[in-house]
A = this chain, B = another copy of it.
């Protein structure tokens, strides 16, 4: 049966709404700014950061996809586009005939090194500066907690 949905109480709803609005506005602004000052999309940016920071410029396709938590299809299209613009390249994997490496090109390194400082500044201005040290720490903990909670669920 369960005909009565358990609606959120007003405080829960207010918190959820604030969170959603904040998050949308923040992400929206940040990606518009990154796009504006580096010509890269937020997706380009995160791919290059992951590749250079965590993989030393070279990573297996699916590892990269898992790292940023994208579907492989999305990553594949993204890599195709970035390869077309010369930011990354595909390389064959000797160990596994199906596999591929994604490699950051010199142009890719240049792009990310140029974009990163501006990106950090935007993160500061939009987000970090709005909060006290304690609030930021708290938000980090809460985020991690939601993340852990989701890990336990399928999907």
Task: Tell me the A residues contacting B by CB distance below 8 Å.
Answer: 5-8, 11-12, 14-16, 18-19, 21-29, 32-33, 69, 116-117, 120-121, 123-131, 135-140, 142-150, 153, 155
Contacts and interface: CB of A to CB of B under 8 A. Distances in A.
A135 B137 CA distance: 13
A44 B83 CA distance: 34
A150 B23 contact: no
Nearest to A28: B69
A23 B27 contact: yes
A22 B131 contact: no
Nearest to A136: B15
B19 A139 contact: yes
